[in-house]
């Protein structure tokens, strides 16, 4: 017998679907304009499962490291990391100037 697997589960693995997402597809993107992706960033491991069970209780009993681990299980980057300058403008400006100099030559 041939077992037909759900194509969504094949593409996302063991990651949890947590919402509709940007376009209704089960994909992950870090975006400032749409901060809630459809799936979690990391797959559920034994460590994350333990933290998730602790998360259901009193949050004041969680350490800062545990809260950060829970955040990183759901998201890849913080807003500050997403908005941080990448320096891409330097390569764009450089290639533009090369193109302009070749056009003038």
What is d(CA 70, CA 39) in angstroms, rounded to the nearest whole number? 14
Please give the model's pTM, rounded to 2 decimal places. Answer: 0.72
Q: Six-digit token pair at 92?
A: 């764009």
Q: Are 25 and 38 in contact (CB under 8 A)?
A: yes
* Phi, psi torsion values for 34, nearest 5 degrees: -140, 85
Per-residue pLDDT tens over the stretch 10-56? 788 888 888 888 888 888 888 888 888 889 999 889 999 999 999 89
Under 8 Å CB-to-CB from 14, ≥6 apart: which residues?
43, 44
Q: What is the model's pLDDT at position 1? A: 60
Q: What is the model's pLDDT at position 47? A: 92
DSSP state of 87: S
Per-residue pLDDT tens over the stretch 44-93? 899 999 999 998 989 899 999 999 999 999 999 999 999 999 899 999 99
Tokens 């302009």 found at:
100
């Amino acid at each position: 017998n041939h077992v037909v697997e759900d194509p969504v589960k094949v593409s996302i693995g063991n990651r949890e679907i947590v919402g509709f997402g940007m376009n209704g597809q089960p994909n992950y993107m870090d975006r400032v304009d749409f901060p809630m992706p459809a799936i979690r960033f990391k797959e559920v491991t034994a460590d994350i499962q333990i933290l998730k069970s602790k998360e259901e209780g009193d949050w004041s009993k969680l350490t800062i490291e545990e809260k950060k681990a829970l955040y990183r299980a759901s998201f890849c980057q913080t807003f500050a990391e997403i908005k941080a300058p990448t320096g891409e403008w330097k390569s764009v400006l450089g290639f533009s100037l090369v193109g302009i100099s070749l056009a003038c030559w």
